Amino acid sequence: MKVLVIGCGGREHMLVKKLNQSARVTEVFVAPGNAGIRAEATCINIAIDAIDELLRFAKKEAIEWTIVGPEIPLANGIVDQFRAADLNIFGPTKAAALIESSKDFSKTLMKKYHIPTARFQTFTDSNQAKLYIKEQGAPIVVKADGLAEGKGVVVAMTEQEACEAVEQMLESNCFGAAGAQVVIEEFLIGEEFSLFAFVEGEAVYPMIPARDYKRAFDGDQGPNTGGMGAYSSVPDVSEADLEFTTETILKPVARAMVAEGRPYTGVLYAGLIQTVSGIKVIEFNARFGDPETQVVLPLLENDLIDVIEAVNAGVDPKLTWRDGYAVGVVVASSGYPKVCQKGVVLPKLPETIDGYLIQAGTTFDDQQHLVSNGGRIFLVGSVQKTLAEASEEVYRYLRNIDQMDNFYYRTDIGVI
C-alpha cells in the first residue's frame, strides 16, 4: 500500500523509518519532509496546512492511509475533510483535537470529569491575571491557551516573571491568537513522564512510558523548548503507575470525549507528573509527541500499519515491545528556542553508529550541502540492553562530531 505522512520533523522521520519496516507498505510519501526523510521516502512540496492540496494528492496517488504528525493540520480539521472524501486518515477530528489546541478546554474537561490535574484559572484580562498571580504566589505556571509550538509555557519561579509572561502573551501578543487567552496553573513538584496511547472511542491501548527533557540546558536549566531529548522506557514508572494512569486518566478522558460528542481516534499523548499526592496530568496532546516518538517507536515490535488498522477497526492491536531501552539526544541550533540562523552547514556526521540518526530541521542548499532549517536539527538515538548503555552509545557518537560551534546539545539525557 501507499502511505502519506504529513510533517517535516524528527517525529515524521521516525514514522517513515517505522513504516519502511512493514512488508505491506510499498511506498511512503511525506509532505513536505526534510533532507533526511528524502533519502527514505518521496517528499512532496505541499505545506502541512494546505489541506485541499493534500487531499487532491491523496486521491491522485490512491493513498491508502494518511498519518498526521503535527498538531496544526489536526486543529485545522484535516481529518474531517479526508473522512468526508472517504479517505483513510489516522488522527482526531478538529473537535477532538481541541484537547490540545485549547488548554482551557482540556483543563475544563479534566475538572468536569474529575481527572487529576493542577488547579487553574483562565484569563483574557492582563490585570486580573496579575492579581491572581499575586494571590497564589510563585512558583506558578503560565500557559498560552492555543498552539505555540511547545514554547507557550512559562514555569515562573517569581511573581515578576509570571506577570511578565502574562504581559508578553496578553499585551504584546507574542503568540498572536494562541496567546489571547492564558491558563495559569498551580506549580506541581515531581518527576515527569509521557504516556502515549492508541485510542478509538472508549477503547484505549497504552504504549510504554517515555521521559523527555523540555529545558534547553543541562540540569533542567534555561527556557522551555520543544524537547531536547528523551528516553524509554522509564525505570521509576512502575506497572502500578501505568495501571493507575490508564484507569484514572486515559480511559476516563476517552470516555469524557465520547460523552462530550467529540469521540477521539488516533494517538493521545498524556504529559504526566508523579506528585506526592499521586499522578496528575500536565497536558494532553492530540498526536505522537516529539522527541518521545523517536525513542518509543524503535522499541515497538508490531507493524505500525497493522496497529493503525486494528485500532481503527476497534480491535486490540496486542502491542509488543523490545526488551531494552532507547535514548535520543537532540542537536539544536545555537540560540534555540529563540531566533536561529538557518542555512548553516552541518558538521560531517560519522558513519558508524550502533543506533540511528533522525533528521528534523534540515534541508539542502543550492550546492547540495546539508544545512540547518530550524531550531532542532537532528537526533542521535540508540537502543541497548540498559539505559546507561544506550545513553553512553549516543554520547560516544556525539563526541566524535567535529565543528559543533553553531550547535549544542544537552549532556545529561538518560543519565541517572
pLDDT at 234 over 80: yes
210 grid coordinates:
517515555
Residue 59 lies in a domain: yes
pLDDT for the residue 239: 96
Residues 73-85: what's their mean pLDDT?
98
User: Residue 235 contacts by C-beta under 8 Å, 6 or more apart in sequence?
Assistant: 387, 416
Rounded Cα distance, 289 and 272, in Å:
13
User: Residue 1 contacts by C-beta under 8 Å, 6 or more apart in sequence?
Assistant: 24, 25, 26, 64, 65, 305
Picking from 243, 262, 192, the residue whose alpha carbon sits closest to that of residue 220 is 192
| SS3 per-residue string spanning the chain | CEEEEEECCHHHHHHHHHHHCCCCCCEEEEEECCHHHHCCCEECCCCCCCHHHHHHHHHHCCCCEEEECCHHHHHCCHHHHHHHCCCCEECCCHHHHHHHHCHHHHHHHHHHCCCCECCEEEECCHHHHHHHHHHHCCCEEEEECCCCCCCCEEEECCHHHHHHHHHHHHHCCCCHHHHCCEEEEECCCCEEEEEEEEEECCEEEECCCEEECCEEEHHHEEEECCCCEEEECCCCCCHHHHHHHHHHHHHHHHHHHHHCCCCCEEEEEEEEEEECCEEEEEEEECCCCCCCHHHHHHHECCCHHHHHHHHHCCCCCCCCECCCEEEEEEEEECCCCCCCCCCCECCCCCCCCCCEEEECCEEECCCCCEEECCCEEEEEEEEECCHHHHHHHHHHHHHCCCCCCCEECCCCCCCC
Residue 70: cis peptide before it, omega within 30 degrees of 0:
no
> In this structure, what CATH number is given to the domain that contains residue 176?
3.30.1490.20
Residue 104 lies in a domain: no
Q: Clarify whether residues 297 and 330 are in a common domain.
A: no
> Who has greater pLDDT, 298 or 350?
298
Q: Clarify whether residues 304 and 202 are in a common domain.
A: yes
Q: Clarify whether residues 276 and 341 are in a common domain.
A: no
pLDDT band at 64 (very low <50, low <70, confident <90, very high): very high
Residue 115 lies in a domain: no
Among 77, 93, 109, the domain-final residue is 93
Q: Clarify whether residues 78 and 141 are in a common domain.
A: no
Q: Clarify whether residues 287 and 338 are in a common domain.
A: no
Residue 185 lies in a domain: no
Residue 132 lies in a domain: yes
Q: Clarify whether residues 19 and 87 are in a common domain.
A: yes
Tell me whether strands 65-68 and 120-123 are parallel, antiparallel or unpaired.
unpaired
pLDDT at 224 over 90: no
Residues 247-258: what's their mean pLDDT?
98
pLDDT for the residue 151: 76
- For residues 383 and 355, the answer to whether their CB atoms sit within 8 Å is yes
> In this structure, what CATH number is given to the domain that contains residue 64?
3.40.50.20
Among 152, 180, 208, the domain-final residue is 180
Rounded Cα distance, 171 and 144, in Å:
12
pLDDT for the residue 305: 98
Rounded Cα distance, 33 and 25, in Å:
18
Q: Which of 10-24, 236-250, 343-357 has the lowest mean pLDDT?
A: 343-357
pLDDT at 149 over 80: no
Residues 87-95: what's their mean pLDDT?
98
pLDDT at 388 over 90: yes
- Work out how many domains the chain is built from and give that number: 4
pLDDT band at 45 (very low <50, low <70, confident <90, very high): very high
- For residues 100 and 286, the answer to whether their CB atoms sit within 8 Å is yes
pLDDT band at 39 (very low <50, low <70, confident <90, very high): very high
pLDDT for the residue 263: 98
> In this structure, what CATH number is given to the domain that contains residue 365?
3.90.600.10
> In this structure, what CATH number is given to the domain that contains residue 259?
3.30.470.20
Residue 116 lies in a domain: no
Q: Clarify whether residues 215 and 300 are in a common domain.
A: yes
Q: Clarify whether residues 200 and 158 are in a common domain.
A: no
Residue 170 lies in a domain: yes
Q: Which residue has the cell 539542502?
A: 364
Among 312, 339, 360, the domain-final residue is 312
58 grid coordinates:
491523496
Phi–psi pair at 380, nearest 5 degrees: -105, 125
Residue 108 lies in a domain: no
Q: Clarify whether residues 221 and 276 are in a common domain.
A: yes
Residues 149-154: what's their mean pLDDT?
81
Q: Clarify whether residues 221 and 299 are in a common domain.
A: yes
Q: Clarify whether residues 197 and 285 are in a common domain.
A: yes
Q: Clarify whether residues 204 and 271 are in a common domain.
A: yes
Supply the range of the domain harboring residue 45: 2-93
Rounded Cα distance, 256 and 21, in Å:
35
